[in-house]
Amino acid sequence: MNSEELRNLQSPLKDKYRDQPESATITLRAEGKIGQGISCKVETGKAIVEAGLHPATGGDGMLACSGDMLLEALVACAGVTLRAVSTAVDIAIQGGTVRAEGDLDFRGTLGVSKEASVGFKAIRLMFHLDTEATAEQIQTLAKLTERYCVVYQTLVKGVPVESRFTKL
C-alpha cells in the first residue's frame, strides 16, 4: 500500500468522524472463559489463547502469560502504527523488528512484599528498522508512532479501569 491508497482508504472515515464525532467512539471487547486449573481461555478473533500462570508464579510455562500478552499487544499496535505512519508520510521501510521488554517484581503479585508493586515497573519499546530514512525522518516516525499507537498511549497515560463481579 502506498500513501495515496492509504489516504483514499482513510479519507471517508476521517470525514465521517469530523462530521459525526459520536460515530468515532467504538467499544472494543475481549472475552475469556475461566478454564480448568488456573487458566483463562481468551478469544483473539483469530484463535483461542489459553493464559495461565507465569513460571515465576508457579506455572509450567505451557500456557500464555498475560504479561507477555500485554507486551505482544504493544508490539503489534506499535508495528502496525509505524507501518501506517511510514506509509502516510512516504518514508520507506523495507523491514525490521519491534520489541518490547518489561520488568516485573514477582514478589508483588505473589504477596511476598507489600513494598514490591504489582505490575510492570518499566517497559522498553525498541524499533530496529531496515530503512534509508534520515535521522530526522526516523524522529518523525518515532514521534508519530508514539502519538497514534493506541496501546502505547493507553499505557503511558493510564486510564480508569472499573471491575464488576456478578454471580451467574
Overall average pLDDT of the 55-61 stretch: 92
Please give the DSSP secondary-structure letter assigned to residue 84.
Answer: H
d(CA 101, CA 153): 17
pLDDT digits (tens, 9 = 90+) for 84-99: 999 999 999 999 999 9
Residue 40 or residue 45, greater confidence: 40
Q: Which domains does the chain have, with CATH numbers?
A: 3-157 (3.30.300.20)
Tell me the one-letter amino acid at 102: G
pLDDT at 36: 76
pLDDT at 90: 95
What mean pLDDT is reported for the chain? 92
Q: Is the pLDDT of residue 51 over 90?
A: yes
Beta strand 32-34 with 39-43: parallel, antiparallel or unpaired?
A: antiparallel
Q: Is the pLDDT of residue 160 over 80?
A: yes
pLDDT band at 29 (very low <50, low <70, confident <90, very high): confident
- Burial of 136 from C-beta contacts in 10 A (0-12 / 13-18 / 19+): exposed
Beta strand 95-104 with 64-65: parallel, antiparallel or unpaired?
A: unpaired
Is residue 116 within 8 Å of 108, Cβ to Cβ? Answer: yes
d(CA 53, CA 64): 8
d(CA 99, CA 74): 9
pLDDT band at 80 (very low <50, low <70, confident <90, very high): very high
pTM confidence score: 0.88
Overall average pLDDT of the 143-158 stretch: 97
pLDDT at 69: 94
